């Protein structure tokens, strides 16, 4: 009888220990592919455009021309049904706050057909702008904010085409100790054809380093994002800031003529 009692007691202890471990795991803060833990901020609430302001070329700040940006069935959609032709009406949807050190995670996919008149290079092309200027500083006819662009590209169904590339409107970066003056630099990501969802994760450490990941895989890394003083507008921004180095800024989602959907836009703030 005593042996049976001891076995039951040992079994009960094991169950209690396992239950405690599962409870602790359930309470563990959310993590990401960089191993950071903390509370994710949902920049997109899944219901409406609260916290976001559109700035579409040739239109006033806050005017959502032709309902370019809208939320349907829990998805933030960028569409052009109200456009007769694109006419280089590039747009950006700005989040209300600025950030310096963070991890940004976005789930996106390309859908449908490109808007009539959209440039050839913009086929299945969009992106998110980081360390950007405030939309209030943009001219009415300005096409892109001075920023670091994480470029999203979809495959054409045949050829290799990387995503989470780097483009630099009014900016430059450093790679391997060298200042990079090319406007765009390709990542080493896989190609994603069709309308499949893709997860982009961008780790931003102020002015030190920026890392692009696609579905958890590191595909691009660079340092010292900075304003390009060869660009008159960027030079003016640098003079007003007292430095050309970019350590913080806005986050905005692009509209570049091809429909795209976002079902998650969330941020883990790493600033102390």
**Gap between the Cα atoms of 15 and 7, Å rounded:** 12
Task: Report pLDDT digits (tens) over 207-230.
Answer: 999 999 999 999 999 999 999 999
Residues 6+ positions from 28 with CB-CB distance below 8 Å: 37
Q: What's the domain range around 43?
A: 38-269
* Residue 140 burial (10 A CB sphere; 0-12, 13-18, 19+): exposed
Task: Report pLDDT digits (tens) over 163-198.
Answer: 999 999 999 999 999 999 999 999 999 999 999 999
The number of domains in the chain is 1
Decide if 263 is inside a domain.
yes
Q: Which of 7-11, 74-78, 241-245 shows the lowest per-residue confidence on average (mean pLDDT)?
A: 7-11
Contact 214, 111 (CB under 8 A): no
Decide if 175 is inside a domain.
yes
Decide if 250 is inside a domain.
yes
Decide if 59 is inside a domain.
yes
Coil, strand or helix at 49 = coil
Decide if 1 is inside a domain.
no
Decide if 47 is inside a domain.
yes
Decide if 8 is inside a domain.
no
CATH number for position 212: 2.60.120.560
The pLDDT confidence band at residue 15, using thresholds 50, 70 and 90, is very low
Claim: this prediction has a pTM higher than 0.75: yes
Decide if 256 is inside a domain.
yes
**Gap between the Cα atoms of 50 and 52, Å rounded:** 6
Residue indicated by tokens 């030079």: 235
Q: How many residues does the chain have?
A: 272
Q: Which sign does the torsion angle of CA 186, 259, 51, 228 carry? A: positive
């Amino acid at each position: 009888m005593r042996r049976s009692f001891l076995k039951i007691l040992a079994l009960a202890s094991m169950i209690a220990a396992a239950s405690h471990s599962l409870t602790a795991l359930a309470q563990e803060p959310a993590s990401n592919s960089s191993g950071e833990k903390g509370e994710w901020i949902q920049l997109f609430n899944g219901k409406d455009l609260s916290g976001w302001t559109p700035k579409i070329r040739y239109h006033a700040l806050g005017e959502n021309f032709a309902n370019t940006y809208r939320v349907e069935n829990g998805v933030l959609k960028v569409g052009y049904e109200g456009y007769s032709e694109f006419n280089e009406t590039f747009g950006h949807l700005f989040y209300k706050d600025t950030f310096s050190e963070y991890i940004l995670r976005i789930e996106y996919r390309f859908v449908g057909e490109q808007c009539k008149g959209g440039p050839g290079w913009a086929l299945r092309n969009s992106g998110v702008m980081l360390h950007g200027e405030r939309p209030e500083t943009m001219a009415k006819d300005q096409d892109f904010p001075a920023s670091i662009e994480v470029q999203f590209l979809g495959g054409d169904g045949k050829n290799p085409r990387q995503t989470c590339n780097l483009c630099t409107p009014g900016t430059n970066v450093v790679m391997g100790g060298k200042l990079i003056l090319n406007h765009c630099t390709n990542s080493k990501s896989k190609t994603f054809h069709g309308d499949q969802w893709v997860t982009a994760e961008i780790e931003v450490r102020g002015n030190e380093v920026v890392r692009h990941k696609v579905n958890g895989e590191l595909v691009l890394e660079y340092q010292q994002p900075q304003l390009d003083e060869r660009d008159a507008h960027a030079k003016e921004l640098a003079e007003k800031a007292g430095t050309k180095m970019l350590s913080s800024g806005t986050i905005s989602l692009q509209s570049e003529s091809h429909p795209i959907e976002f079902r998650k836009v969330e941020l883990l703030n790493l600033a102390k």
